[in-house]
Structure 1
Amino acid sequence: IGLLFLFFSLDFVGGRLGFVPATVAAPWHLSLLALPFLAVAAGSALRLIPGLRETPLWASLLIIAILSAGPGLAPDFQTYDIPASPAAIFGDNQVMLLKLEPEGALQPGATIVLDADWLSTQPIDFDYNIFIHVVDDAGATVAQLDTQPQAGARPMTSWLPGEIISDRYELAIPPDAAPDLKLRLGLYNWQTGERLAAGEDDALELHNTD
């Protein structure tokens, strides 16, 4: 009885008022490791406070706990439409660039924004950098960005297989750049400079998006 009292109290106070994460308060089976300690503490509380033994109080706690557990038990689903073919596959099928959506024209003086969705197919053992280069017809780089995913908030070693990572990149192109430009995006080892293969190339290449 003492165990039930403390268990339901934990669910109500922790799950409803936010003192305990929902994954601990509900579902309750995640707290099974704490059962021996909860039983001792609850039994002591009942001896020290006889009023806790009243049946109406138990009924109220039971109802409150069940009602408060509902939102915590509800699954949180997100849907994503996987494209028929990814924009690029890097390495040995390690990382997929599901889609890359540019905003703005690839031209001198413009700012181009790229929205990307990444997917790892297996655990990644290194935090590869993302490079984005805007190059002219002669192959010279006129603008570039080197960054970690989500500006370092989600390095690739933190990606779970099957998890989709959304990111956004922004580049300003100098106004004096040559007019015939293309964009190259890829992954590289920042310690050695070695790039991951992207098919037969070492980067995904985009031409003018205007």
Structure 2
Amino acid sequence: MHNPVAERDELTFGFGATDLGSSFHGDWVLYAETELDHITHWYGPEGGPTRLLLLIEDLLRLRDSGLDGEEINLLWRATDPQLGGSPEIRGQEREWLDRVLAWAVPVALARGASVESCTTYPVCVPDGTSAAAAEHRRLTAEVVDLVGLLNQHCESHTPLDATQAALRRCAETLCAELAFRSLLCAASHFSTQLSPATYSRLERLSTAFGYGPHVVDAVKYLMD
């Protein structure tokens, strides 16, 4: 997410790849036969292209990144709701990203998106020149610090330590903003207990990244 002014209306709640991963609650199979059926339902039959473009940007960044497959898998697993339900992509991480892109790009084009917006994205790390990229790099150290505060208070097959390492790599080599959203998902996935001071830090970072009011308050229930 590198154009918070143009994208503001879509930043009120979760968005992008993290929103998609979190959407796979265990009951999605009750109304969809396949993962792509669920994605089609989640994004609806109408609307402008911006919500889809936010997803496409995340998917392209992850696919083209220097992250290895297991790191991408851990970031995806971190978005999984506590009761599970998101597709298993281990061993076919980039194939999954391409599969979703193959669905999302034609739909975004049909809703008025340009070919360029569906195939390119602003550079962030290490040398993006936009104001958003500079701000994201400025916030990287704090995102990395917050990753260290993740703690686990529920059973999960996802390893906490490895997830933290993947989140740090995402922040430092790809984009701190994407890492921050993934961190919020991971906090829910692991039922991390958040102190009021930690939650305040999350709120400040959310504002700095240009989010609306309901991105961070999705984890407010974790505050002890």
TM superposition score category, shorter chain reference: under 0.3
Give 1 or 2: higher helix fraction. 2
Of Structure 1 and Structure 2, the greater strand share is in 1
Asked which structure has the greater CA Rg, the reply is 1
Query: More relative contact order in 1 or in 2 (CA 8 Å, sep 6+)?
Result: 2
Give the alignment's TM-score, normalised by structure 1.
0.24
